[in-house]
Every structure is written in structure tokens, then in C-alpha cells.
């Protein structure tokens, strides 16, 4: 075998090589080209022989080629494939080919030759082009969606942000900003809720998701923007490392939502007033005749007493008439309420935590989002038996009342608790809703569940009355804690599945 290898000629190995090879004189003219080189460049061997290599180089790279040729010839040495050893050549059809090359100086008969081995590197060009195209698509998509990108480095307390983010914050220069300067532009009323959302995302026990809407104040003109931010915290070794996410300006959306909410509130208020008026009219109609009869009987008794012309029998009949008419009024009221609440109550097994989250989402969607919810939901709380829609309506009413009561509070916080409690030797689910607003005075606390009593300028005083009726219809109780501090504290119970 050794003898066979020893007998191989250079031309045999040259032609059999799997790589493209050119053999050139020190002047740069081609002496020989192996079949792979001929195939790659699209020329025959006769066409390549005697051809200056510079002719095969793309025109814009020829000056660079001459520089490196001179540099190599000044100190010939083997140069393997590496970064920087590339040339852009032209094939016969004029197509550009990025080539990775290696150079090996060879001497024969006291003459310098250069063995050039090259591989096509267009895959890298294609990859770079695909990357550029992908980055361009991302840029256009980001521009179309109005997205800003941020990267909060927890360790160095620095926020990296793009041009769109800087525009949101009213800054147009630095690509990085200290976290303190970043937060300084956030509305003071929204900082606590935002920090709470970040703290939750930084908890290793969480999924690291960050999602919040807050306001940013432009330091130049004082204009407010509503920003919707979404991101995720990434951990290293169990510790939060960075928060990366996107932001979007939702100011116009918030304005539209506020207008729609005002219209819904106005419509709901008119509807409630109409319902209250019709209900009061129906009650008045049902009570009018019994009350008129009671008044008449009472006048007869008073007249008899005043004129000393009464008899025991007449008095008994008049008073009996009053009793009967009062009982008639009571029956009429019960029949009217039964009519208004007609229909069998449909209950189902419900996850109370899910119902609470759904009610919170409704309140947020209705434009009541300026508060920080603190949830204390017992994780192993059994399912309750209730009408899910009715309980959800009660929660929405309690949440709205709480948010409206906290309008003047700097950091409105709504505490919501759901847990098991024993009432009358029976386990029930208890829900506690407490705000940190100004609370209720003693008069309001005593009358809060009276029909048509309200502490709100535009209220009609039926929300809590209806809420209590709905909870009682579901087998529970609703009441207010008279001694709650701070704010107002409402509680209700629901039965577990039996």
C-alpha cells in the first residue's frame, strides 16, 4: 500500500480531490484547475488555464484581492480556512459566489506556485440574508403594531429600551436608562400596582408572567399615556435575572372605553330608575286599596271614640277590618315579589376562586381598573352550590361599590378573601370584600340594606338590596361589618356541595 501511495502523482491527487482546487503561478495566473473547480466556476480547464485569478473576482472586491495577494507574496505561508479568508468570485454566468479559501505556497523547479483550495460559502450568505429579512419583518410588524420593547436587567438595575419605548416615555436619546429614571415617568397612583405585578412575576413559584396597564407622564409636556405592558421574567439558578417584554400605547382605547362606560352607566341608571319606578308603582297599586280601607276603618273608630257613640261590636268589626286589610296588603306584597322573582333557581357546582376572577375581569373591562386587588383565596376551597351568574353579579356590585368609594384614595386596595368558616356548626364558604376607602358612617351602616337608600349621588339604592336577595336565594347570607377599619367590609356565605 505504501508503494502505491508513493507512486501517486500530484495531478492524480489534484484531480481526485473532493474540494475545488486551483494551482496558480506567483503572478496570479491559473496553471491548472481540478474538475470540482471547473464545475463550480462553469469553465473548462482550457478556458481557465492562463486566466488571471483577478478576472474571476467580483469587480468591487478586486482592489481588496490585489492587496491580499501582495501581502501573501511578501511572506508566503500556509493559510487555512478561517474568518477573513473569503473572496467573492463570479462564475461563468456572472453569479456571485462567496468562497472560503485556503492558500498553500509550493515550490517546483525553483518556482513559486500557490495551491488554492476553496469551498462555496453561500449558505452563510443565505443565512445572513434570511436573518436580515426576518429582522426587517419584525421591524415592520413592530412598527405596524406600535410595539415598544424593553429589557430590565435586575442585577445592574438598568432598562434597555428601543426607540418606540423612548417615544412613549418622552425621551429620544439614551438606549439605556436607570430603573429609577424609568419608574419616575410612571403615574404615582400606578407605581404600587406595577411594582406588585413585578414582584409577583419575580417569584420563582410563579410562571414569571408580567401583565399590567398603567399611565406614563411625558416629562416635557405633562401629557398622560396609557401603556399596556406584557412580559416574562427569566431566571438563572432560581433567581430572577431579567424581565423582557413589549409595550403598546392604549390611550385611545382607554378613552373609547371610558366613553362607552359612561354611556353604559347612564343607560343602566335609567333602566334601574325605570325598574324602580315600575316596581314602586306596582307596590303602590297593590297597597292602595288595603291602605284606603284601613284608613276608613280607623276614621270610623276615631269618630266613634270622639263622640262616645261606639259599641263593642262596631269597634270589633272596624278593628277586624283593619287586620284583614293589613293581611291583604302583606299577601299582595308577597305575591308581587314572587312574581318578580318567578322561575326556578338553577344552581351548579362552582369554583369560587374562578367566579371571583371572572367578576374582577368584568370590573376591569367596565373601566373600574384603578385599584390593586389583594387576593387571599384558600387553595383547597371545596366547590360551592350556587347560581354562578347571580353570585358573579353580587361580586361585581360589591367590587364596583368599593372602587367608587376609593376614588379619593392615593393607593386604592381591594382585599378579597375566600375561605372555609364554621357557622352554626356547619362549614360554609365565606367571601370577604374590604376596601380602604373612607368607610360608612353609623347612619349609613344601619340603613345600607334598605330599599332606595344610597350614599351615591347617582345611585337608586337597590344594588345591595338585590345582592342580599340573590345571596339568600342561593342559601347564604350577606351582611356588613359594622366595626370594619379601614374602609367598608362586606361578607357573604354560600353552601358547599352536599
Cβ-count burial of 394 within 10 angstroms (0-12 exposed, 13-18 middle, 19+ buried)? buried
Q: Quote the pLDDT of residue 484.
A: 81
Boundaries of every domain in the chain: 8-125, 146-249, 254-340, 348-495
**Which residues are CB-contacts of 392 (< 8 A; sequence separation ≥ 6)?**
355, 358, 359, 362
Using DSSP bridges, classify how beta strands 413-423 and 372-377 pair: parallel, antiparallel or unpaired. Answer: parallel
Q: How many CB atoms lie within 10 A of CB 365?
A: 11
Could you list the pLDDT tens digit for every one of the 498 residues in the chain?
333 456 678 888 888 888 899 999 989 999 999 999 999 999 999 999 999 999 999 898 888 888 888 888 888 888 875 545 577 889 999 888 888 888 899 988 889 999 999 887 756 666 667 777 777 777 777 777 778 899 999 989 999 988 888 888 887 667 888 999 899 999 998 888 888 889 999 998 888 999 989 999 988 888 899 999 999 999 988 899 999 999 999 999 888 888 877 777 777 766 666 666 666 666 665 667 677 778 887 888 888 888 877 678 878 887 887 887 777 777 666 666 665 555 567 888 999 999 999 889 888 877 777 788 889 998 888 999 999 888 998 998 899 889 888 888 877 888 888 888 877 778 899 999 999 888 888 888 788 888 777 777 666 667 788 888 889 989 999 999 988 888 899 999 999 987
Q: What is the CATH number of domain 146-249?
A: 3.30.450.20
Architecture in CATH of 348-495: 2-Layer Sandwich (3.30)
Q: Quote the pLDDT of residue 51.
A: 93
Tens of pLDDT, residue by residue over 363-414, are: 887 777 778 888 999 888 899 999 988 899 899 889 988 988 888 887 788 8
Q: Indicate the helix (H) or strand (E) that contains 490.
A: strand 489-495
Q: What is the CATH number of domain 254-340?
A: 1.10.287
Q: Quote the pLDDT of residue 171.
A: 76
8-125 and 146-249 share one CATH topology?
Answer: yes
CATH of 8-125, one of 3.40.50.150, 3.40.190.290, 3.40.50.720, 3.30.450.20: 3.30.450.20
Q: Quote the pLDDT of residue 4.
A: 44
Q: In 3D, which of 147, 157, 171, 160 has the Cα closest to residue 246?
A: 147
Q: Supply the pTM of this predicted model.
A: 0.46
Distance CA(43)–CA(13), nearest Å, equals: 20
Tens of pLDDT, residue by residue over 164-184, are: 888 888 876 678 889 998 999
**CB-based contact 85:104 (threshold 8 Å):** no
Match 396609557 to its residue by C-alpha cell: 226
In the structure grid, which three cell numbers stand for residue 184, read together? 419616575
Distance CA(25)–CA(314), nearest Å, equals: 144
Amino acid at each position: 500500500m505504501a508503494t502505491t501511495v508513493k507512486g501517486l502523482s500530484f495531478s492524480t491527487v489534484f484531480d481526485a480531490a473532493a474540494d475545488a482546487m486551483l494551482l496558480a503561478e506567483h503572478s496570479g495566473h491559473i496553471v491548472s484547475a481540478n474538475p470540482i473547480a471547473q464545475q463550480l466556476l462553469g469553465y473548462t480547464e482550457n478556458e481557465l488555464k492562463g486566466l488571471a485569478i483577478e478576472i474571476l473576482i467580483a469587480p468591487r472586491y478586486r482592489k481588496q484581492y490585489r492587496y491580499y495577494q501582495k501581502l501573501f507574496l511578501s511572506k508566503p505561508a500556509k493559510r487555512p480556512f478561517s474568518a477573513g479568508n473569503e473572496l467573492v468570485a463570479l462564475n461563468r454566468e456572472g453569479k456571485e459566489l462567496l468562497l472560503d479559501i485556503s492558500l498553500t505556497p509550493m515550490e517546483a523547479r525553483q518556482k513559486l506556485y500557490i495551491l488554492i483550495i476553496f469551498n462555496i460559502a453561500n449558505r452563510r450568505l443565505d443565512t445572513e440574508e434570511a436573518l436580515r429579512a426576518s429582522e426587517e419583518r419584525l421591524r415592520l410588524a413592530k412598527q405596524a403594531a406600535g410595539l415598544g420593547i424593553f429589557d430590565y436587567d435586575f442585577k445592574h438595575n438598568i432598562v434597555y429600551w428601543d426607540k418606540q419605548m423612548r417615544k412613549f416615555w418622552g425621551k429620544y436619546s439614551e438606549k439605556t436608562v436607570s430603573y429609577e429614571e424609568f419608574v419616575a415617568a410612571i403615574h404615582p397612583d400606578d407605581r404600587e400596582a406595577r411594582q406588585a405585578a413585578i414582584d409577583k412575576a419575580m417569584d420563582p413559584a410563579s410562571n414569571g408572567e408580567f401583565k399590567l396597564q398603567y399611565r406614563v407622564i411625558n416629562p416635557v409636556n405633562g401629557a398622560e399615556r396609557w401603556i399596556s405592558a406584557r412580559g416574562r421574567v427569566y431566571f438563572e439558578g432560581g433567581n430572577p435575572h431579567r424581565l423582557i417584554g413589549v409595550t403598546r400605547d392604549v390611550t385611545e382605547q382607554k378613552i373609547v372605553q371610558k366613553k362607552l362606560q359612561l354611556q353604559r352607566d347612564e343607560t343602566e341608571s335609567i333602566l334601574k330608575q325605570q325598574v324602580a319606578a315600575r316596581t314602586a308603582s306596582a307596590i303602590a297599586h297593590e297597597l292602595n286599596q288595603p291602605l284606603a280601607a284601613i284608613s276608613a276603618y280607623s276614621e270610623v273608630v276615631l269618630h266613634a271614640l270622639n263622640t262616645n257613640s261606639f259599641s263593642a261590636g262596631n269597634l270589633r268589626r272596624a278593628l277586624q277590618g283593619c287586620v284583614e286589610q293589613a293581611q291583604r296588603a302583606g299577601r299582595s306584597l308577597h305575591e308581587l315579589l314572587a312574581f318578580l322573582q318567578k322561575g326556578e333557581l338553577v344552581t351548579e357546582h362552582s369554583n369560587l376562586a374562578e367566579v371571583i376572577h371572572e367578576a374582577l375581569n368584568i370590573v376591569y373591562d367596565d373601566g373600574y381598573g384603578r385599584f390593586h386587588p389583594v387576593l387571599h383565596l384558600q387553595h383547597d376551597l371545596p366547590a360551592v352550590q350556587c347560581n354562578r351568574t347571580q353570585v358573579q353579579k353580587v361580586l361585581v356590585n360589591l367590587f364596583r361599590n368599593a372602587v367608587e368609594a376609593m376614588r379619593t384614595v392615593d393607593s386604592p386596595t381591594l382585599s378579597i378573601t375566600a375561605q372555609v368558616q364554621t357557622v352554626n356548626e356547619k362549614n360554609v364558604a365565606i367571601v370577604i370584600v374590604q376596601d380602604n376607602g373612607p368607610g360608612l358612617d353609623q347612619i349609613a351602616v344601619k340603613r345600607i340594606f334598605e330599599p332606595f337608600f344610597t350614599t351615591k349621588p347617582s345611585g337608586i339604592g337597590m344594588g345591595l338590596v338585590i345582592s342580599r336577595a340573590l345571596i339568600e336565594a342561593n342559601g347564604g347570607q350577606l351582611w356588613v361589618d359594622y366595626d370594619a377599619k379601614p374602609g367598608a367590609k362586606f361578607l357573604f356565605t354560600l353552601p358547599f356541595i352536599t
